[in-house]
Structure 1
Amino acid sequence: MTLFLAYDPSEKGKNGVAAIQVVSNVPKVAETATVRDAAKAMSWPSVPISVRQLTG
């Protein structure tokens, strides 16, 4: 399994981030959030995605 962090910059401090897992060449969004800036995106998620979410 591979996990990617996607960042979608926007205006006014509403930037989207997503954790995307790829299993057997099939992508699946594991978690999404809105963050203030790129620095926050790099430290997101502050609470690690659970093993259940990554394998479920």
Structure 2
Amino acid sequence: MPKNKKPVPRKSSTPPQEKEEVLSQALSELALTVAEQEYEDMSEMSWTSTARSSAT
């Protein structure tokens, strides 16, 4: 009767340190996108309120 072999442990596709770097980069890009959108929104609000006060 053949001997059963021990199962080989599976290796993750990316090492934890690399995975952390990828997640950090993605989070940084998302934060920058949100900050840019907020800046644009604030600029539009400022322009709108300036235009309204000038019109009155």
What TM-score do the two structures reach when normalised by structure 1? 0.22
What TM-score do the two structures reach when normalised by structure 2? 0.22
Structure with the larger strand share: 1
Higher Rg = 2
Structure with the larger helix share: 2
